[in-house]
Structure 1
Amino acid sequence: MPVPRSILSKDDVTDLDLTVVAGTWPDDVAGHFVVSTSDQRTHPIHAFFGDGIMARLALRPDAGGRFAWRPRVVDTPSVRLRRARPDLFTAGPVGTNSPWGFVNAANTAPLPWGDRLFATWDAGRPVEVDPVTLEFVAEVGHRDDWKPSIDQAVLPLISSTAHPVIDPERDCLWSVSRDVLSGVTSVIRYDGAGKHVHRWTVEGALLPQATHTITQTRDWLVLADTAYKVDTAEIFGGDRTVANNPDGPVLLIRKDELVPGRPSVPCSQFRIAPEVNHFYARHDDSDGIQVVMEHTPGVDIGMYLREDDVDVHGRPVDPALRGMYCHGMTPALTTVLQFDPESGLVRERARAYDPARWWQAELSAIDWSFEGQNEPTRHHLVFLGFHPEAINQRALRNYGDRVDTSLFPDGETPATLVSFEREGLKPLAEWTFALDDYPTSPTFVPRGLGAPGRSTYAGADPGGHDGYIVLAVHNDDRFRVELFDAADVSRGPIAVLAPPHGTTVPFLIHSAWMPEVRPASRDIDRLAFADDLDERLDQLDPELAAVAREVAAGLG
C-alpha cells in the first residue's frame, strides 16, 4: 500500500521542530518554505476542500540546530463563522456551504508578493496572511467587484483561480473571475492597496470548465480552460458521470488593453489538446509567446475516492483514502507551445513524454524571480507514479476508451523528480523515490541571494539551475523535507529534515519560497470584512446576521 495511510489524517495542527537526519544542510540555503493544505478536521467530502492551512518552514536552524515547521489554520471570515456555528456548515463534493454562503477555503497555493503573502483557491478571492504569524489579514477586493457566480448573504461564490500571477513590471496581481454557469470570464487586477479591484469581461470568449491557472508574458496574459468539470448531478447526491473535456480554449489578452474604466477587453483565441491544469510562460515574449503546458489527460481532480469504490483491480478502496482525488490514469505529457496572436497559429516547440512517467498534478518547481522568468533554464517536475489503489472504476467508466489500460504497469510504480531543460524539455537529471514515499510540491530556492543588480527573489545565476529544490515527502514512518541540488537532482537528497519517527502531517498541496519574512504592514489600506456586510444581511435570521457582525467586529 504505497499511498501513505496517514495522508488524510485528522491530527491537530501542531508545531514541529525538524532536525537534520541525513546529509549536511548547506550554509547558503536561506529563506522560508511555505505550503498550503486542506484541514481534514473540517471533514471535507473531497479532501481538497477543507479549510485552508498555511505552513512555514524556516530554512535556517535555530541555535539548537532545529528547523521550525509552523502550520496555522488561516482564520478567514469563513473559518470564524464556522467556529461560531459549526452545526450550520455542510460539506459537499465541490466545497462547503452555510446559511451565510460558500466557504472560501484558501487552501491551495501560497503566493508571495515581495514581503507579502497570499493564500489562494479556485472558488474564492485571494486571502492575505501575515508571513510571520500566518494569521488572516484581508481578502482581496470587495465581493461585488469580482461579480460572484452566486451572490449569497455574506460569503459569495467567486469562481477564480488558484494561481494568480504577480506582474513584476506593473507591480500588480492579475487574477480572473468566471461565471460557473455561463463560462463568461473576466480579468481582475489588484494594485496592492485599497478595497477594490478592477475587472474587465473578456469579449466573445468562454472558459467552459475552470481557470485553475493563469500565466503571463511581458505584454500578454494567458488564460486557458483547465481540466476540472463540475457535475451538477453529483452536487445533488448522484454519481459523478462527467469526464473532463479532451481539449479547450486558450485566451491571449494584451495587457495594454486593460485600461481602468473600460468594461471589457478583446482577446485572441486558440484551441489546444490534450487538457491542462498548470502552465508557465516565459516572461520575455520578444521571440514569441512560449508556454510550458503540463497536460493532464486522464487526470480527473474532481473525482474523489469513496468508501464503496473499487480500484483498478476490483479491490475495495481502503477507507483511509476516502476523499483523496482519483490518481492519474495516463502517463504524463508536457509540451512547450508557441502562440502567435497575429496568425492565430499554435506551434509545438518541444515535447516530453515517457510512458514510464505517470502524471503530475501540482508538482513543478521553477525560478519565480523576474530574471528567472525572463530567461528560464530548468523546469523541475515530480511525477507521482502509477497507483492502482487510488484509481476507481467509476473514473475508468467515465473516460472509457480515452484511457488506454494496456499502458497500465503490472503494479505500483515509484515517484520521480526530473529536471528538464526549459527550452527543449530534454531530461537532464532524475531521482527515483522509494515506493512507499509520496513526494509533494517542490520549490526552487536560489543560491547567491543579494547579488549586485539582482531583484530580491533572484540568486546570482537565475533560471532554475543554480540553487536547491526543497520538497516535503509523505511516508507513514514519518514526514520528511528533502533538499536537492537543482543542478543535479540525480545525486539524491543532499540533506533531509525530519521530526521523530511516527510523526506525520496531512497531505500538502502547493508550495512556494520567500527569501525572508516580515510582519504584514498595517499601513496598507485593505478591505475589511465589515466592508462586505450590507443590506444583504437582512436575508438572514437576525441571530445569524448578529454572528456575522460579531465576526466583523472581532476582525477589527
Structure 2
Amino acid sequence: MKHLPAHFVGEPLRKFFVPRSVIKTSREEITDLRLIVRKYVKNSNGDWELIAQDANKPLEQTISLAGETPTPQEFMERSNKPLEQTISLAGETPTPQEFMERSNELPAALQGYIFTVGALFQAQDRPQEDGTQLYTGDGMIYRLGFEQGQAILKTRIAKTPCYYADLATAGDSNRSVWQPQTEFAKRHRIFSYFAAFRNGGPSRFSMLLGGRNQLNTAFLKLGDRLIVTIDAGRPYEIDPNSLELLAPIGKASCWLGIFPIVSRLVAQLTGSYPFDVYINAAHPVADTKKANNIYGSTINGFLSTNYSTGYNGLYRKPVNWFFEKINHIFKGEAAAKEQFGRFTDLIYYTFDRATESQEPELKRWRLVLANGLHKGKPVIVEQSLHQLAITEDFIILADIAFKMEFSQIFSPFLFGFLKLKLFQKFWALGAWIYANFLRAMPPLPNGIIYIVKRSDLEKYPACTADTEPTTLPALQVILPHEISHFAADYNNPDGKITLHVGHINGWDVTEWITRYDLSVPSKPCLRCDLEGMQVGTTDLGGLAKYEIDGNTGKIEKIQTIRDPEFTWSPSIYTHSELSRDDANNQEAQIKNIYWLCWGFSWELIPQRIYDAYKSRESRTIPIEDLPSNDRPLTLVRLDTETMTVADSFQFPLGYFVSSPQFVPSSDPLPEAAEPSTHGYIVCVVLADNLDNEEQSCDEFWVFHADDFHNKPIYRLLAPSDREPLNLALTLHTTWMRESGNYNQTKRYDDEGIRQQIRKESVSLDYKSRLKRANSVVHELFDDIVYGYFTQQLSEQAAMKRLHESDYKIRCDCGINRESTPGK
C-alpha cells in the first residue's frame, strides 16, 4: 500500500520541500512561555482536522461543523472519546467555551522535561552569514516542560568563556574593510582583527585565541545531572532548572588538543593559547544500573573519548607522513603521531571525588588494535568518533560519516576575502577556489566500530594527559555501509552484542550548499535562500540490526530493511529508556526504535555532490533511478524483533522535522501492553508562516508512540499575541522526569553557588594558561570573560554593556600574571 504525506485541513500545499525556516534562528532567550495546544484527529477522509482551538481566542474563531459552532456533544464526538469519558464541570456537560478550555490541554500522562539543542547563526539580521554551515553556531538549549496539561518553553544560549571573548572581539566583515563592533575591539583594533573568531566548516576559530566551544549537539543525562556536548569542545554540566552552564568536564590541562604541538607553538609565539580545541564524542555513555566498581557503572561518572584524526584534508597521507618524520627527529617515534594529532583515547570522568582522593578526575587509555593486520598499532580515527554505546560488558565506539576537515576550519583565514563585497562580484574566482581547495571529500563507503571490554578498564592501568600513555586493546569491526547513528541493547547474552544502525549511503552531512554551487541539469534550481543548508542524500538508506560477538568481533547476523517509501536519509532516533539509562527500568532490549528519515529532494543536491557519488561502487540504487519527485520526511517505528515497519508518519512537504524524543507515559501500563510504545514521541517541526514565507512558524508536535494515525496529534506553538517560534534546526535530545528536585536544588538553586562553581572553573582552566599572556589578553579576560561568564550575562545585556565605555565586570578568580618582556 502506497503511503501519502499527511494533510491538515485548512493548510494549503507548500511551495518548497525545505522551508526557509531551517536557516533562520532567533537568538531570543525565553523564560517560561506557555505554548498554545492544538489537537488534531483524523476525519473520515483520512485528513487531520483541528478539534480544539486556542482557548484564548473567541468562540466564533474555532473550527465548526457544517459552518456552524459545534455543540458540546459534537465536540466530544470529534475528540474520539465516548460521552461518558469526557471531562465534565461539577458533574454537568460543559459549555462549548468550557470544553475548549479543558480540551486545550495535553494528555495528563505526558510528563517531565525534554531538552534539545541546536546551533544559532552568528547574526539575527544576517542569519546565513555568507554560507556558514547550518550546524555552526552557539548552542541554544530548549527545555520543553509538561506541567498540568500545559507545555512551557524555556531557552538559554550555552555561554562558555570563549562565547564572551567572541562577543568582545567581534567585528563586521560584511563591508569593504573589517570594522570593530564593541568598545573593547575599538580600543584594540589590531589585536581584535587577528583575535576575532571566524566560521570555517563545522567550527569557529581564532588565530590568536583558539577555537570556540559552541555546545550545540547533544546531552547526557546522568541521574539528576545534565551534560551538554559537542564534538569539538569539552562537555559542560548545566543546571536543568536555570539552564545556566556550570563547569566544564575536566580541567583544560586534563585534555589533549587536536594538534598538541601546534597549541604549544602558538602559546610560545604569542604567550598564550587559551581556547584549545578538544575533540571528543558528542554522545558519551554511562551505566546507572550496575552497582559495582566497573568503569561507567555509576551515576557519578561517564565514559567518552579524546582524540584527533590528524590532518585529514587533501594529500593527507603524505602530509601526515612528513609531520611524523619531522616530529620523530625532535620527539622520538613514540610521540610522533600524538604531537600532530592522530591519537585515540578512551576517557573516564568522575564527579564528586573525595577531597582527600589522589585519583585523577579524568583517566585515559590509548586505544590500540586487538585484531587484524595492524594488531598492536594505535587506533586512528578516519572520520569521527561521534557516538559511543555501552552494554553490560562492552563499550562500543563508532567511526561514523561525520568528518571535521581542517581545510574547512582554516578556510576563513585563507579565503575570507571572498566574503568582502569587492570580491563577491567575482563569482568565477570563488567557484575555482572552492572547486580546487575546498572540494568535497566523500565519507568512507563502510562503517567502522571498535569494541572494548569493560573488564579491561580494570585490567589495564590508566594514565593522564601529562603522563606516558598506557594502552587498551580494541577490536575493530567493519560494517558494510556508512553509519549515521546507532543504538545498542543493554544485555549481551554469551557476549553477543546487538546493534541497531541507521545506514546512509551517498550522503555527507558535513557538506553544505554554497553560493558557488550549480544545480543538476534538468533538476530544480538550487535556492539561494538555502545557502548553508546541509546537502541531501543521493542514494537510498537503510535500517539494520547486527549481532556481533563482542569477544571476537565477528558479525554473526545482519538484518536490513531498505524501503523507498521510508528509508531515505535515516538520521536520528529515539527509544524508551533501558535499565542502563534509569535504574528503575527493567527493560534491557530495544524492542521498538523510532527513526526520523529526512527524505529525498533535488532541492538539496548540487552538481558537485551528484558528480561525487554518481559512480560510487557502493550505491544501493543506480543514480539514474533516483526519484524524480520529492520523498517526504518520515517518522518510522521499527519493530526490531520482526525488522518490519510497525508504524510510520509522513510529514507534509514544506515541514522539516528533527529531534524526536520518547517520553514515557505516567499512566499505569495496561495489561499485555508493550512498555517500549507506552508513551509519546515529541518532535521539533520547522515551517514557514503560510501568510508570510519570510517568517518562521515553528512548532513542537506530540504523537502517541503506539499509534501515529488513530490517536490525536498535538501541535504546540507560540501564543497569537507574540511572534511565532523561530527555532534552530536542533539535533539530539534527552528527557528528565524532574527539573529542580532535591539534589538539583541542593547543588544549584542558589545563584551564588552557581557563580562560585563557574568562578572556580575559570581559575582552574586559565591560572596557568595565561601566565605569560600579553596585557591585551589579560584585559580581555580580567575585564570581560571572567565576570561575564561568572554572572552568565544574557546576550542582550552583554552586547549592551560591551558598547558602553564602562564595559568592565571585574571578577577576582585568583589568576596571577607572569611578568614577560613586551607587556
Deviates more, 1:217-226 or 1:21-30: 21-30
DSSP-derived class of the 2:548 partner: strand
Of 87, 92, 103, which residue of structure 1 is paired with 2:212? 103
Quickly say closer, same or farther: Cα 1:481–1:542, change in 2 above 3 A. Answer: same
- State the partner residue of 1:456: none
Of 373, 385, 397, which residue of structure 1 is paired with 2:599? 385
Mapping of residues 39-54 of structure 1, within 5 Å: 39-42=120-123, 43=129, 45-54=132-141
Deviates more, 1:472-481 or 1:38-47: 38-47
Q: CA RMSD in A?
A: 2.6
Q: Which amino acid aligns with 1:552?
A: Y
- Contact 1:121–1:161, Cα closer than 8 Å, also in 2: yes
Deviates more, 1:404-413 or 1:210-219: 404-413
Q: Which amino acid aligns with 2:276?
A: P
DSSP-derived class of the 1:464 partner: helix
- State the partner residue of 1:406: 624
User: Separation in 2 of the partners of 1:539 and 1:322?
Assistant: 42
How far residue 112 of structure 1 moved from its aligned partner, in angstroms, is: 1.8
Deviates more, 1:181-190 or 1:497-506: 497-506
- Contact 1:250–1:269, Cα closer than 8 Å, also in 2: yes
- Contact 1:249–1:272, Cα closer than 8 Å, also in 2: yes
User: Separation in 1 of the partners of 2:222 and 2:674?
Assistant: 18
DSSP-derived class of the 1:529 partner: helix
Instruction: Kindly indicate which of the two structures has a greater share of residues assigned to helix.
Output: 2
Percent of aligned pairs sharing the same letter:
25
How far residue 315 of structure 1 moved from its aligned partner, in angstroms, is: 4.8
* 1:396 aligned onto 2:396: no
Cα deviation digits, residues 384-421 of structure 1 (max 9, x gap)? 21121112222122223125323321111211111111
- State the partner residue of 1:455: none
Quickly say closer, same or farther: Cα 1:373–1:39, change in 2 above 3 A. Answer: farther
User: Separation in 1 of the partners of 2:530 and 2:352?
Assistant: 42
Deviates more, 1:390-399 or 1:224-233: 224-233
- State the partner residue of 1:480: 699
How far residue 424 of structure 1 moved from its aligned partner, in angstroms, is: 3.5
- State the partner residue of 1:190: 349
- Contact 2:394–2:453, Cα closer than 8 Å, also in 1: yes
- State the partner residue of 2:92: none
* 1:32 aligned onto 2:113: yes
Quickly say closer, same or farther: Cα 1:277–1:184, change in 2 above 3 A. Answer: farther
How far residue 163 of structure 1 moved from its aligned partner, in angstroms, is: 1.0
Q: Which amino acid aligns with 1:528?
A: S
How far residue 322 of structure 1 moved from its aligned partner, in angstroms, is: 1.4
- Contact 2:309–2:381, Cα closer than 8 Å, also in 1: no
- State the partner residue of 2:367: 202
- State the partner residue of 2:10: none
- State the partner residue of 1:454: none
How far residue 144 of structure 1 moved from its aligned partner, in angstroms, is: 2.9
- Contact 1:91–1:97, Cα closer than 8 Å, also in 2: yes
User: Separation in 1 of the partners of 2:625 and 2:778?
Assistant: 56
- Contact 2:308–2:344, Cα closer than 8 Å, also in 1: yes
DSSP-derived class of the 2:400 partner: coil
Mapping of residues 13-28 of structure 1, within 5 Å: 13-15=28-30, 16-23=33-40, 25-28=106-109
Cα deviation digits, residues 444-480 of structure 1 (max 9, x gap)? 01123799xxxxxxxx977521111111211113212
User: Separation in 2 of the partners of 1:493 and 1:386?
Assistant: 27
**Divergent runs of 4+, >6 A:** 523-527
Q: Which amino acid aligns with 2:346?
A: V
- State the partner residue of 2:86: none
Unaligned runs of 5+ in 2: 1-15, 41-102, 124-128, 172-195, 264-272, 291-296, 311-340, 354-359, 369-376, 416-436, 464-469, 580-584, 690-696, 791-812, 814-823
* 1:261 aligned onto 2:278: no
Quickly say closer, same or farther: Cα 1:109–1:232, change in 2 above 3 A. Answer: closer
- State the partner residue of 1:347: 556
Of 499, 513, 517, which residue of structure 1 is paired with 2:735? 513
Tell me which structure has the larger Cα radius of gyration.
Answer: 2
- Contact 2:571–2:598, Cα closer than 8 Å, also in 1: no
- State the partner residue of 2:501: 293
How far residue 184 of structure 1 moved from its aligned partner, in angstroms, is: 2.6
User: Separation in 2 of the partners of 1:465 and 1:443?
Assistant: 12
Quickly say closer, same or farther: Cα 1:479–1:144, change in 2 above 3 A. Answer: same
For this pair of structures, how many residues does the alignment match? 545
Q: Which amino acid aligns with 1:375?
A: Q
- State the partner residue of 1:364: 573
Q: Which amino acid aligns with 2:438?
A: D
User: Separation in 2 of the partners of 1:360 and 1:373?
Assistant: 29
Deviates more, 1:299-308 or 1:500-509: 500-509
TM-score, structure 1 as length reference: 0.91
Quickly say closer, same or farther: Cα 1:500–1:385, change in 2 above 3 A. Answer: farther
DSSP-derived class of the 1:301 partner: coil
* 1:91 aligned onto 2:199: yes
Quickly say closer, same or farther: Cα 1:261–1:358, change in 2 above 3 A. Answer: closer
User: Separation in 1 of the partners of 2:39 and 2:444?
Assistant: 45
- State the partner residue of 1:273: 480
Q: Which amino acid aligns with 1:292?
A: H
- State the partner residue of 1:246: 445
Mapping of residues 213-252 of structure 1, within 5 Å: 213-234=387-408, 235-236=410-411, 237=415, 238-252=437-451
User: Separation in 1 of the partners of 2:674 and 2:346?
Assistant: 30
Of 221, 228, 231, which residue of structure 2 is paired with 1:112? 221
- State the partner residue of 2:93: none
* 1:8 aligned onto 2:227: no
- Contact 2:280–2:305, Cα closer than 8 Å, also in 1: yes
How far residue 495 of structure 1 moved from its aligned partner, in angstroms, is: 1.9
Mapping of residues 30-179 of structure 1, within 5 Å: 30-42=111-123, 43=129, 45-61=132-148, 66-87=150-171, 88-98=196-206, 99-151=208-260, 152=263, 153-168=273-288, 169=290, 170-171=297-298, 172-179=301-308
User: Separation in 1 of the partners of 2:385 and 2:586?
Assistant: 24
How far residue 20 of structure 1 moved from its aligned partner, in angstroms, is: 1.0
Quickly say closer, same or farther: Cα 1:307–1:530, change in 2 above 3 A. Answer: same
User: Separation in 2 of the partners of 1:157 and 1:315?
Assistant: 39
User: Separation in 2 of the partners of 1:225 and 1:428?
Assistant: 29
Quickly say closer, same or farther: Cα 1:528–1:286, change in 2 above 3 A. Answer: same
How far residue 219 of structure 1 moved from its aligned partner, in angstroms, is: 0.9
How far residue 40 of structure 1 moved from its aligned partner, in angstroms, is: 1.4
How far residue 197 of structure 1 moved from its aligned partner, in angstroms, is: 1.3
Quickly say closer, same or farther: Cα 1:389–1:540, change in 2 above 3 A. Answer: farther
DSSP-derived class of the 1:398 partner: helix
* 1:440 aligned onto 2:599: no
Quickly say closer, same or farther: Cα 1:375–1:187, change in 2 above 3 A. Answer: same
Deviates more, 1:261-270 or 1:101-110: 261-270
DSSP-derived class of the 2:770 partner: helix
Cα deviation digits, residues 287-307 of structure 1 (max 9, x gap)? 511111111212201101112
How far residue 535 of structure 1 moved from its aligned partner, in angstroms, is: 4.1
User: Separation in 1 of the partners of 2:779 and 2:642?
Assistant: 59
Cα deviation digits, residues 483-518 of structure 1 (max 9, x gap)? 111112233653221225754323222122111112
User: Separation in 2 of the partners of 1:245 and 1:327?
Assistant: 17
